[in-house]
Chain A
Amino acid sequence: MIGSEIPALIPITYILFAVLIPLIGLWKREIVWQLSLLGSGIATFFSAWGFLHLIQTGETIRYYFGGWTPPVGIEFVYDGLAAFMVLVINTIAFLVLIHSKQISKVEFPGKKMPYYTIAMLMMLGFNGMVLTGDLFNLYVFLEISSLSSYALIAIGDKRAPLASFRYLIIGTVGGSLYLLGVGFLYTVTGTLNIIDMHAMLPQVIGHSSVIAALVLMVVGVGVKAALFPLHGWLPDSYTFASSSSSALIAPIGTKVAAYILFRVVLFLFGVELIDDQLPVTTIIGIFAGIGILYGSVMAIAQSEMKKMLAYSSVSQIGYIIMGISLANPFGFIGAVLHILNHALMKALLFLVSGSLRLKEGHSLITKFNNSYRKKYPWTMAAFTTAAISMVGLPPLAGFFSKWYLALGTIENSNWILLAVILISSLLNAVYFFRILEKVYLNDPDDVSMEDTDTIENNEVGFTMMFPMAVMAIGLLLVGIFNAYIVNVIFTMFPAGF
């Protein structure tokens, strides 16, 4: 039955298309976009199928590569959390790739074939990271995805290669720290399989190399997740990369890293085990809290929309990591739900900024004016939806992840983090309503925009509008029907909840 093959089929699809696109692209350059859509579409289809299959049967699929059973062989573990994550990232990637058609023509016309090839490779890496049940194999996929994203970011404006180089240096350090941690654990336990290692760790937990490994892994993954203060690479990379690259990497990349943190902290070690040794969850909670506020304040200070969104990402990733640090069911639900919500919101916002760059040639907030509401009514409506969701007003999706996170902080009596969530919502309101004001209202100081009746509709085309509309409607639906999603998240809890 094909259901049990799905964990392998998803990455294989991406490998296949990563080879097909350059081969066919040499012969027929025009159809690389369609090919990439086909690839990510198939992967999304498999993810959705697998997810539904998993919900129905409720059984985790453990796929042994080559039939070798772990700990000798490498396995993919397709449990609820992995299935959810894979579905989210592949769907977002599919939608972003649809949107990229027009942008690729303008922003990197000669580099379409490499762009789509690398995008396939990057998605291979991300899916592999999510699915694998082996710590070293995870590192391999981490490097595949990282190297591809360095290349994707470098496809951008003149400053992009430098930003990408900076990311490469910092990212490689992060990856190496993680690998070092894995090495330490291997010397103590003699296994690389996550499930296997989880069973062995209680016996060796007092060992100093286990503690060292834990710190190294959290810091290493923290770099990839842009956990404050390890976020330095992120703002420039997201800002200077082409709009299609940043829309692809921003909603997915840091989430996958946060997912690894889930696996390491909650599944590999387990909360009780680590907090006996080191107050890890408290520490990452503090950094997440600072990061949330820092990211929001920096976002307010930006005048370039993409950079604002980048800092906002630093802040939002803090929510997810805060959810992990709370280490209780509500925090877990909030964090997992926020992975979905933020992926939708941030992808949508980056797509809007990409659309504006295509039409206006810039995305400088200071130059926004109220002609936009006539020129791009639907784009702006989508933006408004995402903005309100980011602020966290019901019934849009953003409210509910914050609600569960807030319940999580209350359960731990952690009033400081509760205050952080609330304050950051207000800061979000500041930087989003600033844009909404500019787009929807006359500037009282500027009479030239007084008469908007003559402005023609200049809305973006279907390939750009469709993904944005899907995401905006998605935000509303996820919000209204979040109870169904949360009931699924209930089945994903790590042991001990």
Chain B
Amino acid sequence: MELTYVPLYAVLVSLVAVPFILLSSKKPNLREFWTILAGVIKFLLVLTLLPSALQGNVIELQLIEIAPNLPLILKADTFGVFFALIASGLWIFTSFYSIGYMRGHKEKKQTRYFASFAVCLSSTIGIAFSGNLLTFIIFYEMLTLATYPLVIHSESKEAIAAGRKYLSYTLTAGLLLIAAAGITYSITGTLDFVPGGIFGEADLSKSMAVVIFLLFLGGVGVKAGIMPLHSWLPSAMAAPTPVSSLLHAVAVVKSGVFGVIRVVGFIFGPDVMAQFGLNDILMILAGFTIIVASLLAFAQDNLKRRLAYSTVGHLSYIVLGVALLTETGLIGSILHISFHATMKITLFFCAGAIMVNLHKKNISDLNGIAKVMPWTMAAFTIGSMGLAGIPPVNGFVSKWYLATGALEGGMLVPVIIFVVSGLLNVGYFFPIIHRAYFKKGGPELEGHTEASPFMVVPLFGTAILSILFGLNPDLFFNFFDMASSVASTIFNSI
């Protein structure tokens, strides 16, 4: 089968769905049908790329030249397919969940919501398949814009303030990225993503390397939630919960860490990183973020905000794994992109189900809800266990590789950070589970049952997936094989 155009179709399919979604705004069922249809087609298209990605083939499609010598390139390499697979797969879950959530919550302007969501997914897949930095920037900025209507969805004061904050962070980040790309282009004459980096031949001074790296870090670090650039993320929890689930636990923030890996592995390359000590910068920032974010998570009573801080911490796991500059560490990082996604999306789904069903947002109000919502809380428990790194949930696997990678590099501090943070994870998730199962619920719980199946099925599905991937990381999609193939192309490129 001819695969050349598949990446393009995968990007476009949800964009094509947008007019259909807009036109059927008066018929909600038809409108949601388009979303689901686009989601399934997108996922299947990405899936057809999987076999060739597993063989390490790169499918490259050069579209128009967007600037002289800078074509718009879609390139489905293993890493891109890996990311696209997670984003598009979880979009299907989120779409079903959105139906239950948005209708259960009687949200307004649902057409705008579903249309923006579709654009976001196109941008995310575009990011995954970007063959060079300019293409990446274009989709990155598209994602910024398309997420904005979702963040301000409720149009409350809080949401509008969050939207402003979101834009000011992400637009600034976009500009830093453009500056970094410009400087890189003037030095290397190319912006292609090449495993092992493009700075190899260039004559680069230490100060220049640090400046360029910091500009890049400012660009991708905002979406990756690296402290001190993280504070838009907890504010963005003002968005409806499906948005927090898919975008602020998977698509947007993972685009950020995806960008970090592209920059470290495909622009700078491990050698240049080590030569100028750039990985130390990354390591210090990420280590700091992991610990501080975990501590801050304790202070949040709002469930979604606690999850948001947890996300900030876990994103930096990935960044820290990259900064180790060892093959095993990178495998752990890449695995954590997908595994954190299935776990965190489960938790957000649960938070949303609780909110719609019981109208409870704060952890202190969750006493005894496991009796009313047993499935939801079971899924929640699985997700929390995974994030704390307890087997057999998949979080254990990625964390294992992260820690091994640190030991392989002879670094003890990162290992300590991973262990301490695991304990902190237990510390901030356990009280929630304890309340839900062991404390007596108030009288307001009477008469309530489990949330709508539109929500429960997806959230339980992702929880099951988390366990299955924990038992066998290569199940269905060969995540582990893909991760190790990406890591080896980066480290063995010379």
- B167 in contact (CB, < 8 A): yes
Number of interface residues of A (CB under 8 A): 33
| Beta-carbon contact of B68 and A487 below 8 Å | yes
Enumerate A404-431 residues with CB–CB distance to B below 8 Å: 404, 406-407, 410-411, 418, 422, 425-426, 429
| Beta-carbon contact of A406 and B137 below 8 Å | no
- B56 in contact (CB, < 8 A): no
- Docked Cα-Cα span, A388 to B137, in Å, equals 15
- Docked Cα-Cα span, A444 to B156, in Å, equals 6
| Beta-carbon contact of B67 and A403 below 8 Å | yes
Residue numbers in B under 8 Å from A391 (CB-CB): 171
B59-89 interface code vs A (CB 8 A; 1 in, 0 out): 0000011111000000000000000000000
B153-189 interface code vs A (CB 8 A; 1 in, 0 out): 0011100100110011001101110110011011000
| Beta-carbon contact of B167 and A429 below 8 Å | yes
Contact pick for B183, options A410, A482, A487, CB 8 Å: A410
B180, chain A: closest CB distance, angstroms: 10
- Docked Cα-Cα span, A213 to B6, in Å, equals 61
Enumerate B119-178 residues with CB–CB distance to A below 8 Å: 137-138, 141-142, 144-145, 149, 152, 155-157, 160, 163-164, 167-168, 171-172, 174-176, 178
Contact pick for A422, options B66, B138, B141, B175, CB 8 Å: B175
B117, chain A: closest CB distance, angstroms: 17
| Beta-carbon contact of A444 and B179 below 8 Å | no
Contact A482 to B178, CB < 8 A, known contacts A441-B155, A441-B160? no
| B176 (CB) vs chain A CBs: closest residue | A422
| Beta-carbon contact of B155 and A442 below 8 Å | yes
Residue numbers in A under 8 Å from B185 (CB-CB): 407
Contact A422 to B178, CB < 8 A, known contacts A393-B145, A444-B156? yes
Contact pick for A418, options B65, B172, B179, CB 8 Å: B179
A437, chain B: closest CB distance, angstroms: 7
B180-219 interface code vs A (CB 8 A; 1 in, 0 out): 0011011000000000000000000000000000000000
B16, chain A: closest CB distance, angstroms: 16
- Docked Cα-Cα span, A411 to B185, in Å, equals 10
| Beta-carbon contact of A406 and B171 below 8 Å | no
Contact A394 to B141, CB < 8 A, known contacts A406-B182, A407-B185, A411-B186? yes
| B71 (CB) vs chain A CBs: closest residue | A483
Residue numbers in A under 8 Å from B66 (CB-CB): 395, 400, 480, 482-483
Contact A426 to B155, CB < 8 A, known contacts A393-B145, A483-B66? no
| Beta-carbon contact of A410 and B178 below 8 Å | no
| B70 (CB) vs chain A CBs: closest residue | A483
| Beta-carbon contact of B67 and A406 below 8 Å | no
- Docked Cα-Cα span, A391 to B78, in Å, equals 34
Contact A426 to B186, CB < 8 A, known contacts A394-B138, A444-B155, A481-B64? no
A18, chain B: closest CB distance, angstroms: 41
| Beta-carbon contact of B171 and A483 below 8 Å | no
Enumerate B260-284 residues with CB–CB distance to A below 8 Å: none
| Beta-carbon contact of A426 and B145 below 8 Å | no
| B157 (CB) vs chain A CBs: closest residue | A444
- A64 in contact (CB, < 8 A): no
Contact pick for A433, options B167, B175, B183, CB 8 Å: B167
Q: Is the interface of B mostly helix, strand, loop or mixed?
A: helix
- Docked Cα-Cα span, A327 to B35, in Å, equals 50
Number of interface residues of B (CB under 8 A): 32
Residue numbers in A under 8 Å from B175 (CB-CB): 422, 425-426
Contact A482 to B67, CB < 8 A, known contacts A394-B141, A406-B182, A407-B185? yes
| Beta-carbon contact of A393 and B141 below 8 Å | yes
Contact A483 to B186, CB < 8 A, known contacts A393-B141, A394-B137? no
- Docked Cα-Cα span, A422 to B176, in Å, equals 8
| Beta-carbon contact of B182 and A407 below 8 Å | yes
- A469 in contact (CB, < 8 A): no
- A486 in contact (CB, < 8 A): yes
| A481 (CB) vs chain B CBs: closest residue | B64
- Docked Cα-Cα span, A437 to B159, in Å, equals 12
Contact A407 to B186, CB < 8 A, known contacts A426-B171, A444-B157? yes
| Beta-carbon contact of B152 and A441 below 8 Å | yes
Residue numbers in A under 8 Å from B141 (CB-CB): 393-394, 399
A334, chain B: closest CB distance, angstroms: 11
Contact A426 to B172, CB < 8 A, known contacts A393-B141, A483-B67? yes
| A404 (CB) vs chain B CBs: closest residue | B67
B135, chain A: closest CB distance, angstroms: 9
- Docked Cα-Cα span, A412 to B183, in Å, equals 11
A365-407 interface code vs B (CB 8 A; 1 in, 0 out): 0000000000000000000000010010111000110111011
B398, chain A: closest CB distance, angstroms: 33
Interface centre among A410, A445, A490 (most CB of B within 10 A): A410
- Docked Cα-Cα span, A73 to B152, in Å, equals 65
Residue numbers in A under 8 Å from B152 (CB-CB): 441
| Beta-carbon contact of A483 and B64 below 8 Å | yes
A464, chain B: closest CB distance, angstroms: 23
A-B contacts, 20 of them at CB < 8 A, read A391-B171, A393-B141, A393-B142, A394-B137, A399-B141, A402-B178, A403-B67, A406-B182, A407-B185, A410-B182, A410-B183, A418-B182, A422-B179, A425-B175, A437-B160, A444-B156, A480-B64, A482-B66, A486-B68, A490-B68
Nearest 9 Cβ contacts at the A-B interface: A394-B138, A483-B65, A422-B175, A442-B155, A444-B157, A406-B182, A393-B141, A410-B186, A441-B155
Other than the given A394-B137, A406-B178, 4 more pairs (CB < 8 A) read A402-B178, A410-B183, A426-B175, A481-B64
